[in-house]
């Protein structure tokens, strides 16, 4: 006879909970300076159903912490607060406007005997400040990309307009934050570039010139293949956040139709009556539809006199995507869109298959895919170029990595160590799991390598990384 | 009025270099605090006539190290104590006329109106005369806490009570900082009210770490970039140093009775000890490594010193410790006691700091209660402290007893030790002992190292020790010394991270190359010249480990001797010295 104790069956196992978003709020301490008016300070609060006094309390704590740290350095107040249960990240993107993100520490729930409530153990040192500090900044950049600054909203419609905009934007955006999969790449906020030969690159450049010449309304253009950038006319910081939006939000939502054709690009003539594969990812899904609306998302990018507002037109053919930006004061019409579709569609389809051909050639040259002895992340602060063989393709929901989260955190630690001193450094560590992790900083470049050979010694590790640098990075890292 | 002051002074121990606490309200508050503390004695502390010419006596008079509330009650013996005190005073004066003895329970007597006659201790007279703030010229306590220079201190430390009352601040007076400390307490309790605990706050330049220990809250505001773990352990040292003077039990008792008690009353005068501790922690890696640094000594000399200590015993003697130049020479332990618990390096650090922080101890013989917080946070050892080489005062003997009445017996032990050492010329030999230079290792490219062997099974319960050469060029300036220590701290923080510990770190930077390595047998931090290759670094480490192996008899106390002072002759045989097996060399080459 099999007896199952009720305790056993009710699951005596420990339950693991990952880090998650507890609160996210925006406040301005100057909006409710008097006692009893504290609620007026709060411009946005997530989750919205939190009781009013609780909101006021939480905002009050942030204010107190910031004020307290000003005792010791008036110009550099607190950036984060660590407590047993959570971490709070403070960011003042515009004067007196504070954004705060509260992240619950990962925790383990351990069941207790005799019906006692389970013991909860918080893992207080799992969250990296640099990573989540960067996430908060990213939140602001993303808001600003689509709404402009907080003070712009204030000027246009006062607190009321600002709270509306915050509500509208963050309600959706916060749902797309996947805090448990944030890592070093969020700190870099880099851009992955597509490596191209000169000829193809020139083809793309002349394509961009041609389009901008023919459609003079277009102010800026950016060109991407898959999730990689090839050409951009935008300022670096604007491109960085636009890139983030495109690759983590817009493209993943529209990826399916391309899947079929990516590896066997069909030329328009082969495709019979179909002239090209081009289509709008923003704006009208189907130009032939008489009901089609010609509305495009508006974005704000930096300009000499502050910011300029633009229509964002994203047009894609197979794996190639072109972003065209047009001054927002101009109304977008059917004529313009048809003109663009007619001009860009066929050319972009051609370019896409050219690039694809080169892509496959490149792959063939580099030889059959063998599980490499190492995985790496590279980032260049000067051009924001980033390369990772650790991360799989990004999707809308998660950014999958192929290594243990603890190793990713060690990379984050090494990144913090590099920030301590402004000089070239190399750090090699051996983790408790015997993995070797190597970090190199040279000039503005950082390289992080995780090696698979557990029994290697320091000298072998060094040799391996030297080889990697020679083959992948043209020996740009000099130290030893 | 005078008598009031005296009473307060004596009862609280020392008020000498503390802020001018409400001296005049003495009578009232004193009564309350005494009633709080109940049936426990206040040992009056120390005192001395000599060394007035000592410079430090000018602006900051030496204060007795602590001011304590005994954990043992003493009703029955009080009257005897009184006599005892007189005896001692008379006796000693006729001997040398320059030392004073701590008399336990005197305050208790005063409380009952029995004590205090004409002759109050000379130190306290000094203290009272010099207690006005003017006497603290140049001290950090006078700093303007709104000035940029105050903000720019590398590490602030604050201690406050749960009621938000300031107890200690490293820079600036507690009064001037009372609102800042009030805010700290408010933050702590605010977070607590949400069923949570505040740990730390990070800004671009500072790390603020909070530590709550019983009724005390300790806060560190640091721009040193040390890890939170390290800063918290430093706060813990501060807490333990306070405990070493007051005991944990008495602190809890005080605050149980009166939440807003001003603990400075009991700690007055001990600021210098905490100041000293903080300075020491910034400059001495012993605290970081939680290991004791011994003075390198020929093993024959160390053995003979141990034997001298081993022979000079008296009932209830627990530890005999000999230090020179603030480093350990040898420590002999009561066998039975050491079987229960082990002498922790942290306790030794606190003892050494206590002694180093005050020149009062140089004056003769001191008999004072000291708590070893890691050994037992709730009770005192009665500690005999005496320098053996006045006036240089580099070699110090500490004898810890559990018997508060054992002063004479213990002083007699000291006399025997002194005699034996004189007969063997030990002082001269000790004076020649020195820390060593890294060049003695004889390998190029090695600039500095710290090596901490772990307990091996044969002699577990041994005091954890480490060895390290002098810091030499390019680390000879204060600034560079601190920079190297900071690099070590950073490596230590990473390799011992709570959540992501590592086995090895190899760090190449522009000015030096560093390696930190933790194995099951040892922990090693090395600093090389910046251009060393990895292959070369490994060779250097191999040679270094061999050298340490060869020198370990000189560098470490290998077999801590023991004695039995409890009347149990069966156990009194010499410490069994198990043969050590050589193990430091095993398998490390394959690891690197």
Q: Residues 409..438 of A with a Cβ closer than 8 Å to B: which?
A: 409-410, 413, 417, 420-421, 423-432, 434
- Using a CB-CB cut-off of 8 Å, the residues of chain B touching A423 are 509-510
- Using a CB-CB cut-off of 8 Å, the residues of chain A touching B187 are 61, 64-65, 68
Q: Beta strand B292-293 with B465-466: parallel, antiparallel or unpaired? A: parallel
| Helix, strand, or coil (residue B319) | strand
A50 at interface of B, judged by CB pairs closer than 8 A: no
User: How many A×B Cβ pairs under 8 Å?
Assistant: 142
Of B274, B271, B270, give the one whose Cα is nearest residue B282. Answer: B274
CA B8 → CA A16, A318, B27, B42, B271, distances in Å?
57, 89, 7, 11, 18
Is B528:B447 a contact under the CB 8 Å cutoff? Answer: yes
Is B576:B461 a contact under the CB 8 Å cutoff? Answer: no
- Strand ranges inside A202-304, DSSP E: 218-225, 228-232, 279-280, 298-303
Asked if B196's CB is within 8 angstroms of A84's CB, the reply is: yes
Common-topology check for domains B292-434+565-591 and B438-555 = yes
Nearest residue of A to residue B204, measured between CA atoms: A76
Is B62:B139 a contact under the CB 8 Å cutoff? Answer: no
State both tokens at A29: 């301490």
- CATH code that applies to domain A15-182: 3.30.450.70
State both tokens at A116: 């006692």
Q: Beta strand B562-563 with B327-334: parallel, antiparallel or unpaired? A: parallel
Q: Using omega within 30 degrees of 0 as the cis cutoff, is the peptide bond preceding A358 cis?
A: no
How many whole angstroms separate alpha carbon A198 and alpha carbon B350? 69
CA B259 → CA A94, A442, B186, B256, distances in Å?
43, 56, 15, 6
Average pLDDT over chain A reads 87
Question: Any residues with CB less than 8 A from the CB of A156 and at least 6 apart, and which?
Answer: none
Q: How far is A71 from chain B (nearest CA, A)?
A: 8
How many whole angstroms separate alpha carbon B347 and alpha carbon B331? 13
- Reply yes or no on whether the pLDDT at A20 is more than 90: yes
CA B351 → CA A312, B345, B381, B476, distances in Å?
71, 10, 11, 27
Q: How far is B196 from chain A (nearest CA, A)?
A: 6
Asked if A434's CB is within 8 angstroms of B503's CB, the reply is: yes
User: In this predicted model, which residue has the larger pLDDT, B86 or A363?
Assistant: A363
State both tokens at B523: 């922990």
Q: Where in chain A is the domain with CATH 3.30.450.70?
A: 15-182
Residue ranges of the alpha helices (H) in B39-115? 55-59, 78-95, 106-111
**Class of the domain covering B438-555:** alpha beta
Report residue A238's pLDDT band, with 50, 70 and 90 as the boundaries.
very high
- Reply yes or no on whether the pLDDT at A148 is more than 80: yes
Nearest residue of A to residue B519, measured between CA atoms: A432
pLDDT of residue A361: 76
How many whole angstroms separate alpha carbon A370 and alpha carbon A174? 39
Q: Which value, to the nearest 10 degrees, does the dihedral of the CA atoms of residues B258, B260, B261, B262 take?
A: 180
Single pTM value for the model: 0.82
Task: Give per-residue pLDDT as tens, B325-378.
Answer: 889 999 998 887 766 667 889 999 999 998 887 777 777 888 999 999 999 999
Q: Residues 66..95 of A with a Cβ closer than 8 Å to B: which?
A: 67-69, 71-73, 76-86
Nearest residue of B to residue A409, measured between CA atoms: B500
DSSP B199-262: EEEEESS-EEEEEEETTEEEEEEE-S---HHHHHHHHHHHHHHHHHHH-HHHHHHHHHH-TT--
The secondary structure of residue B523, as a DSSP letter, is: E
Task: Give per-residue pLDDT as tens, B549-577.
Answer: 999 999 998 877 788 876 543 333 333 33
Percent of chain A with pLDDT over 70: 88
- ipTM for the complex? 0.90
B432 at interface of A, judged by CB pairs closer than 8 A: no
User: In this predicted model, which residue has the larger pLDDT, B440 or A3?
Assistant: B440
Of B352, B291, B342, B269, give the one whose Cα is nearest residue B17. Answer: B269
Nearest residue of A to residue B150, measured between CA atoms: A72
Report residue A474's pLDDT band, with 50, 70 and 90 as the boundaries.
low
Which of B196, B208, B507 comes nearest A425 by C-beta? B507
Q: What's the CATH architecture for A374-473?
A: 2-Layer Sandwich (3.30)
How many whole angstroms separate alpha carbon A473 and alpha carbon A233? 26
Which of A65, A79, A417 comes nearest B187 by C-beta? A65
pLDDT of residue A115: 81
* Domain locations along chain B: 12-105, 292-434+565-591, 438-555
- Using a CB-CB cut-off of 8 Å, the residues of chain A touching B502 are 410, 429-432
Of A400, A412, A422, A397, give the one whose Cα is nearest residue A448. Answer: A412
Report residue A2's pLDDT band, with 50, 70 and 90 as the boundaries.
very low
Mean pLDDT of B80-100: 33
Nearest residue of A to residue B201, measured between CA atoms: A81
Is B523:B454 a contact under the CB 8 Å cutoff? Answer: yes
| Helix, strand, or coil (residue A89) | strand
B504 at interface of A, judged by CB pairs closer than 8 A: yes
CATH for B292-434+565-591 (2.60.40.10, 3.40.920.10, 3.55.10.10, 3.30.450.30): 3.30.450.30
- Strand ranges inside B372-445, DSSP E: 380-387, 395-401
Residue B452, number of CB atoms within 10 A of its CB: 20
Mean pLDDT of A61-82: 95
Q: How far is B441 from chain A (nearest CA, A)?
A: 23
How many whole angstroms separate alpha carbon B413 and alpha carbon B410? 5
- Reply yes or no on whether the pLDDT at B580 is more than 90: no
Question: Any residues with CB less than 8 A from the CB of A380 and at least 6 apart, and which?
Answer: A190, A386, A444, A445, A446
- Reply yes or no on whether the pLDDT at B586 is more than 60: no
Nearest residue of B to residue A439, measured between CA atoms: B507
Which of B206, B505, B510 comes nearest A427 by C-beta? B505
Q: Which value, to the nearest 10 degrees, does the dihedral of the CA atoms of residues A239, A241, A244, A249 take?
A: -110
Q: Residues 120..149 of A with a Cβ closer than 8 Å to B: which?
A: 123-126, 129
- Reply yes or no on whether the pLDDT at A264 is more than 50: no
Asked if A57's CB is within 8 angstroms of B202's CB, the reply is: no
Task: Give per-residue pLDDT as tens, A374-395.
Answer: 899 999 999 999 998 888 755 5
How many whole angstroms separate alpha carbon A334 and alpha carbon A142? 29
CATH superfamily of the A198-254+276-366 domain: Dynein light chain 2a, cytoplasmic (3.30.450.30)
- Using a CB-CB cut-off of 8 Å, the residues of chain B touching A84 are 196-197, 199
Is A206:A83 a contact under the CB 8 Å cutoff? Answer: no
Asked if B197's CB is within 8 angstroms of A83's CB, the reply is: yes
Least confident of A246-260, A286-300, B552-566: A246-260
| Helix, strand, or coil (residue A343) | helix
Place of tokens 């627990």: B318
Query: Which residue of B196, B200, B201, B511 to mutate against A (max A Cβ within 10 Å)?
Result: B201
pLDDT of residue B81: 35
Question: Any residues with CB less than 8 A from the CB of B20 and at least 6 apart, and which?
Answer: B131, B132, B133
pLDDT of residue B265: 86
User: In this predicted model, which residue has the larger pLDDT, B6 or A247?
Assistant: A247
Least confident of A66-75, A342-351, A368-377, B88-97: B88-97
pLDDT of residue A274: 62
Q: How far is A236 from chain B (nearest CA, A)?
A: 25
Mean pLDDT of B199-215: 96
Mean pLDDT of B445-457: 86
pLDDT of residue A360: 80
Report residue A265's pLDDT band, with 50, 70 and 90 as the boundaries.
very low
Residue environment code for B275-312, b if the CB has 16+ CB neighbours within 10 A, otherwise e: bbbbebbbebbbbbbbbbbbbbbeeebbbbbbbbbbeb
B487 at interface of A, judged by CB pairs closer than 8 A: no
């Amino acid at each position: 006879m099999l007896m199952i104790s009720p305790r056993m069956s009710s699951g005596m196992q420990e339950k693991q909970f990952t880090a998650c978003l507890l609160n996210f709020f925006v406040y301005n301490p100057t909006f409710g300076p008097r006692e009893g008016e504290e609620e007026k300070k709060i411009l946005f609060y997530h989750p919205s159903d939190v009781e009013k006094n609780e909101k006021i309390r939480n905002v009050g704590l942030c204010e107190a912490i910031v004020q307290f740290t000003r005792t010791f350095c008036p110009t550099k107040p607190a950036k984060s607060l660590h407590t047993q249960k959570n971490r709070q990240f403070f960011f003042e993107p515009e004067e007196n406007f504070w954004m705060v993100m509260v992240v619950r520490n990962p925790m383990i729930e351990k069941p207790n005997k005799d019906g006692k409530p389970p013991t909860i153990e918080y893992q207080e040192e799992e969250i990296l400040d640099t990573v989540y500090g960067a996430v908060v900044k990213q939140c602001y950049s993303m808001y600003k990309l689509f709404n402009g600054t907080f003070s712009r909203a204030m000027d246009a419609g006062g607190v009321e307009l600002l709270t509306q905009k915050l509500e509208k934007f963050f309600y959706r955006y916060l749902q797309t934050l996947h805090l448990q999969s944030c890592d070093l790449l969020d700190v870099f906020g880099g851009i992955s570039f597509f490596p191209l030969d000169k000829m193809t690159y020139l083809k793309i450049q002349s394509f961009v010139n041609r389009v901008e010449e023919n459609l003079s309304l277009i102010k800026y253009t950016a060109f991407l293949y898959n999730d990689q950038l090839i050409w951009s006319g935008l300022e670096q910081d604007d491109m960085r956040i636009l890139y983030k939006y495109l690759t983590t939000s817009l493209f993943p939502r529209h990826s399916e139709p391309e899947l079929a054709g990516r590896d066997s690009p069909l030329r328009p003539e082969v495709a019979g009556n179909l002239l090209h594969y081009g289509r709008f990812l923003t704006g009208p899904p189907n130009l032939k539809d008489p009901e089609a609306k010609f509305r495009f998302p508006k974005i704000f990018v930096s300009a000499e006199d502050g910011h300029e507002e633009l229509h964002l037109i994203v047009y894609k053919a197979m794996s190639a995507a072109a972003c065209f930006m047009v001054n927002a004061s101009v109304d977008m019409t059917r004529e313009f869109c048809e003109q663009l579709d007619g001009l860009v569609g066929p050319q972009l389809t051609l370019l896409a298959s050219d690039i694809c051909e080169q892509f496959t050639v490149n792959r063939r040259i580099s030889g059959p895919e063998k599980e490499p002895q190492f995985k790496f992340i590279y980032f260049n602060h000067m051009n924001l170029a980033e390369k990772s063989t650790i991360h799989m393709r990004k999707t809308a929901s998660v950014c999958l990595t192929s290594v243990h989260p603890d190793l990713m955190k060690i990379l984050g630690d090494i990144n913090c160590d590099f920030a301590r001193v402004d000089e070239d450094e190399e750090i090699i560590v051996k983790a408790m799991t015997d993995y070797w992790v190597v970090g190199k900083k040279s000039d503005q470049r950082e390289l992080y390598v995780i090696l698979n050979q557990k029994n290697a010694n320091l000298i072998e590790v060094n040799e391996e990384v030297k080889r990697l640098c020679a083959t992948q990075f043209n020996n740009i890292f000099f130290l030893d | 009025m005078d008598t009031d002051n005296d009473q307060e002074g004596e009862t609280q121990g020392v008020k000498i270099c503390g802020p001018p606490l409400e001296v005049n309200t003495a009578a009232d508050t004193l009564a309350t605090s005494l009633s709080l503390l109940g049936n426990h004695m206040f040992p009056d502390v120390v005192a001395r006539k000599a060394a007035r010419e000592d410079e430090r006596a000018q602006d900051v008079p030496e204060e007795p190290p602590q001011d304590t509330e005994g954990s043992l009650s003493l009703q029955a013996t009080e009257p005897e104590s009184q006599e005892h005190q007189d005896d001692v005073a008379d006796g000693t004066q006729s001997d040398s006329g320059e030392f004073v003895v701590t008399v336990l329970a005197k305050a208790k007597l005063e409380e009952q109106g029995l004590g205090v006659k004409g002759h109050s201790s000379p130190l306290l007279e000094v203290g009272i005369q010099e207690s006005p703030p003017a006497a603290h010229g140049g001290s950090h306590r006078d700093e303007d806490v709104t000035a940029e220079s105050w903000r720019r201190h590398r590490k602030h430390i604050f201690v406050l009570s749960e009621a938000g009352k300031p107890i200690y601040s490293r820079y600036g007076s507690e009064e001037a900082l009372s609102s800042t400390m009030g805010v700290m307490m408010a933050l702590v309790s605010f977070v607590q009210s949400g069923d949570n605990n505040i740990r730390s706050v990070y800004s671009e330049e500072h790390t603020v770490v909070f530590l709550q220990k019983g009724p005390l809250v300790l806060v560190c505001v640091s721009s040193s970039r040390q890890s939170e773990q390290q800063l918290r352990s430093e706060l813990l040292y501060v807490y333990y140093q306070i405990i070493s003077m007051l005991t944990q039990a008495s602190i809890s008792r005080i605050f149980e009775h009166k939440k807003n008690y001003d603990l400075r009353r009991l700690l007055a005068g001990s600021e210098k000890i905490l100041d000293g501790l903080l300075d020491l922690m910034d400059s001495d890696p012993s605290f970081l490594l939680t290991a004791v640094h011994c003075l390198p000594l020929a093993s024959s000399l160390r053995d003979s010193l141990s034997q001298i200590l081993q022979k000079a015993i008296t009932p209830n003697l627990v530890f005999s410790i000999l230090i020179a130049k603030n480093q350990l020479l040898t420590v002999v332990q009561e066998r039975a006691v050491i079987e229960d618990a082990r002498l922790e390096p942290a306790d030794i650090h606190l003892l050494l700091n206590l002694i180093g922080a005050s020149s009062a101890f140089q004056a003769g013989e001191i008999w004072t209660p000291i708590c070893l917080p890691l050994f037992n946070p709730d009770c005192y050892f009665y500690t005999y402290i005496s320098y053996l080489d006045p006036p240089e005062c580099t070699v110090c003997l500490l004898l810890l007893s559990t018997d508060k009445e054992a002063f004479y017996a213990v002083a007699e032990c000291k006399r025997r030790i002194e005699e034996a050492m004189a007969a063997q010329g030990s002082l001269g030999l000790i004076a020649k002992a020195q820390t060593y230079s890294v060049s003695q290792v004889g390998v190029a490219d090695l600039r500095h190292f710290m090596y901490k062997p772990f307990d091996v099974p044969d002699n577990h319960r041994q005091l954890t020790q480490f060895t390290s050469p002098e810091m030499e060029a390019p680390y000879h300036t204060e600034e560079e010394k601190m920079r190297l220590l900071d690099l070590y701290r950073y490596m230590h923080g990473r390799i011992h991270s709570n959540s992501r510990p590592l086995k090895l770190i190899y760090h190449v930077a522009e000015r030096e190359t560093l390696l930190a390595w933790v194995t099951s047998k040892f922990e090693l931090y090395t600093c090389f010249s910046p251009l060393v290759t990895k292959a070369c670094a490994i060779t250097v480490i191999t040679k270094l480990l061999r050298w340490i192996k060869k020198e370990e008899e000189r560098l470490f106390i290998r077999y801590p001797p023991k004695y039995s002072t409890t009347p149990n002759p069966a156990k009194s045989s010499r410490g069994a010295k198990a043969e050590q097996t050589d193990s430091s060399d095993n398998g490390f080459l394959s690891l690197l």
